[in-house]
Amino acid sequence: MATVEYNRIGKSFGAVNIMRDVSFRIEEHQFVVLLGPSGCGKTTLLRMTAGLETVSEGDLMIGGKRVNDVHPRDRDIAMVFQNYALYPTMKVYDNIAFSLEVAKVQTDEIKRRVEAAAEVLNLTPYLQRYPKELSGGQRQRVAMGRAMVREPSVFLFDEPLSNLDAKLRAHMRTEIRQLHNRLKTTTIYVTHDQIEAMTMADKIVVMRAGKIEQIGSPDEVYDTPASKYVADFIGSAAINFMPGTVVTGEGQPAVDTPNGRIRVLPGAAVKPGQKVICGIRPTDAVVSDDGPIRTRALLVERMGHDVQLCTAAPAGQFLAIVDRSRPFAEGVEVRFDAAPEKVHVFDAETEMRL
Amino acid sequence: MHQSRGIRTLRTIAGWLVVGVFFFPIYFWTTVAFRNAKDIFNWPPIFVDFEPTARNFEQVFGISLGFGFGAQEAVTPGGGNFYMAPRLWDSIVIASMSTVLAIVVATLAAYCLSRMHFRGRHEFVNWVLSTRMMPPVAVAVPMFFIFKQFSLLDTYLGVILVHGLMNLPLAVLLMKSFFDDIPSEIDESALLDGASRWTIFRRIVLPMAKGGIAATAVLCFIFSWTEFLFVLTLTQTSIKTVPVVSSTFVTSIGTAWGNMAALGAAAIVPAFIVIMLVQRHLVRGLTMGSLKQ
Ligand SMILES: Nc1ncnc2c1ncn2[C@@H]1O[C@H](COP(=O)(O)OP(=O)(O)O)[C@@H](O)[C@H]1O
Ligand SMILES: [Mg+2]
Measured between CA atoms, the residue of chain B closest to residue A156 is B192
Least Cα distance to A338 among A295, A306, A300 occurs for: A295
Nearest CA in chain A to B292: A83
* Ligand 2: centre distance to CA A158 (Å): 7
Put simply, the answer to whether A78 touches B199 (Cβ < 8 Å) is: no
The verdict on B181 touching A (C-beta cutoff 8 Å) is no
Contacts of B25 (CB under 8 A, 6+ apart): none
pLDDT tier for residue B74 given thresholds of 50, 70 and 90: low
Cβ A270 vs Cβ A346: under 8 Å: no
pLDDT band (50, 70, 90) for residue B75? low
Instruction: Name the strand (E) or helix (H) holding A260.
Output: strand A260-263
Determine how β-strand A57-62 pairs with β-strand A4-13.
Answer: antiparallel
User: What's the gap in Å between A14 CA and the centre of ligand 1?
Assistant: 12
Closest partner CB to B195 (pick from A102, A133, A140): A102
Under 8 Å between Cβ of A7 and A59: yes
Residue of A17, A35, A43 to test ligand 1 pocket, by largest number of atoms within 8 Å of CB: A43
Interface test with B, best of A98, A104, A161 (most B CBs within 10 A): A98
Q: Rounded to a whole number, what is the distance in angstroms from the first to the last CA of chain A? A: 38
- Predicted pLDDT of residue B97: 96
Q: Quick check: A207 and A40 in contact, CB under 8 A?
A: yes
Class of A239-347 in CATH: mainly beta
Question: From CA A37, how far away is CA A192, in angstroms rounded?
Answer: 5
Which ligand 1 atom is at minimum distance from the Cα of A82? 21
Task: Give the Å distance between the CA of A44 and the centre of ligand 1.
Answer: 6
Distance A47 CA to ligand 2 centre (A): 10
A residues 239-278 lying closer than 8 A (beta carbon) to B: none
User: In this complex, do A150 and B193 lie within 8 Å of one another by their Cβ atoms?
Assistant: yes
**B174: which residues sit within 8 A by CB, 6+ positions away?**
B106, B110, B212, B215, B216, B219
Any B CB within 8 A of A151 CB: no
- B131–chain A Cβ distance below 8 A for any pair: no
Comparing CA positions, the residue from A289, A308, A306 lying closest to residue A298 is A308
Cα of A283 to nearest chain B Cα, Å? 36
Chain B CB contacts of A132 below 8 Å: 285, 288-289
% of chain B with per-residue pLDDT over 70:
89
Strand partners, A346: A277, A353
Interface membership of A72 toward B (CB under 8 Å): yes
Ligand 1: which of A11, A16, A17, A18 to mutate, judged by most atoms within 8 Å of the beta carbon? A18
Chain B residue numbers touching A159 (CB-CB < 8 A):
none
Q: Which among A50, A81, A88 has CB closest to B286?
A: A88
Q: What is the ipTM of this complex?
A: 0.84
Question: Which residues of chain A lie closer than 8 angstroms to B286, CB-CB?
Answer: 88-89
A49 CA distance to ligand 1 centroid (A)?
15
Over the range A157-172, which residues count as b (16 or more CB within 10 Å of their CB) and which as e? bbbbbbbbeeebbeeb
| Cα B231 from chain centroid (whole Å) | 14
pLDDT of amino acid B47: 79
Q: Which helix (H) or strand (E) holds B160?
A: helix B156-180
**Interface contact flag, A73 B191, Cβ < 8 Å:** yes
Q: Is the pLDDT of residue B236 over 70?
A: yes
Using CA positions, which residue lies closest to atom 14 of ligand 1? Answer: A41
At the second CATH level, the architecture of B85-287 is Orthogonal Bundle (1.10)
Provide the shortest C-alpha distance from residue A79 to chain B (in Å). 7
**3-class SS of residue A261:** strand
Closest to B222 in 3D by CA, of B261, B262, B279: B279
CB of B116 less than 8 A from some CB of A? no
Spatial CA neighbour of B195 closest among A98, A37, A343: A98
Band of the pLDDT at B251, cuts 50, 70, 90?
A: confident
State the average pLDDT over residues B18-35. Answer: 91
Q: What is the pLDDT of residue A280?
A: 94
B158 phi and psi, to 5 degrees?
-60, -50
The answer to whether A169 faces chain B, any CB pair under 8 Å, is no
User: Does pLDDT of B66 surpass 60?
Assistant: no
Distance CA B68, CA B99 (A): 39
C-alpha to C-alpha distances, B77 to B34, B74, B83, nearest whole angstrom:
22, 9, 10
Residue of A nearest to B185 (CA): A85
Please determine, for residue B292, whether its predicted confidence score (pLDDT) is greater than 80: no
Ligand nearest to the CA of A206: 1
Give the number of residues written for chain A: 354
Q: How far is B49 from chain A (nearest CA, A)?
A: 54
In which band, very low, low, confident or very high, does the pLDDT at B69 lie, cut at 50, 70 and 90?
Answer: very low
User: Residue B102 and residue A4: Cα distance in Å, rounded?
Assistant: 47
Backbone angles phi, psi at B39, to 5 degrees: -95, 0
Give the angle A239-A242-A245 at the CA atoms, nearest 5°: 140
Architecture of domain A4-232: 3-Layer(aba) Sandwich (3.40)
Are the C-beta atoms of A204 and A215 separated by less than 8 Å?
Answer: yes
- Ligand 2 centre from B208 Cα, in Å? 25
Which of B186, B187, B192, B284 has the most A C-beta neighbours within 10 Å, making it the best mutation to test the interface with A? B192
Average pLDDT, chain B: 85
Contact between B192 and A102 using a beta-carbon 8 Å cutoff:
no
pLDDT digits (tens, 9 = 90+) for B191-210: 999 999 999 999 999 999 88
Looking at CA atoms only, how far is residue B287 from chain A in angstroms?
5
Cα A324 from Cα A319, distance rounded (Å): 15
What does each C-alpha distance from A286 to A278, A283, A294 come to in angstroms?
A: 16, 8, 12
Give the span between the Cα atoms of B133 and B80, in whole angstroms: 41
pLDDT at A250: 66
How many angstroms is it from A46 CA to the middle of ligand 2?
9
- CA-nearest residue for atom 21, ligand 1, is A43
Does the CB of B188 have a partner CB in chain A at under 8 Å? yes
Is the whole-model pTM more than 0.90? no
pLDDT (tens digit per residue) in B260-279: 998 998 888 888 888 888 87
DSSP B60: H
To 10 degrees, the CA torsion angle through B19, B20, B21, B23?
80
Three-class secondary structure of residue A200 per DSSP: helix
Spatial separation of the C-alpha atoms in residues A83 and B274, rounded to whole Å: 37
pLDDT tens for chain A, 354 residues long, are 799 999 999 999 989 999 999 999 999 999 999 999 999 999 999 999 999 999 999 999 999 999 999 999 899 999 999 888 999 999 999 999 999 999 999 999 999 999 999 998 889 999 999 999 998 889 999 999 999 898 999 999 999 998 888 888 898 899 899 999 999 999 999 999 999 999 999 999 999 999 999 999 999 999 999 999 999 999 888 899 999 999 886 678 888 898 888 888 876 677 888 899 999 999 999 998 888 899 999 998 888 888 899 999 988 899 999 888 888 888 888 999 999 889 999 999 899 998
What letter represents residue A154's amino acid?
A: V
CA distance readout (Å), B251 to A287, B32, B42: 108, 18, 21
- pLDDT confidence of residue A217: 95
Residues with CB under 6 A from ligand 1: A 13, 18, 36, 38-44
The answer on pLDDT for B63 being more than 80 is: no
Q: Do B192 and A78 touch (CB under 8 A)?
A: yes
Q: Does B40 touch chain A (CB under 8 A)?
A: no
Q: Does the structure show a pLDDT above 60 at B284? A: no
* Separation CA A188–CA A207 (nearest Å): 14
- Residue A82 amino acid letter: Q
Compute the distance between CA of residue A136 and CA of residue A128 in angstroms, rounded to an integer. Answer: 17
Q: What is the pLDDT of residue B289?
A: 53
CA A21 distance to own-chain centroid: 20
pLDDT at residue B10 is higher than 90: yes
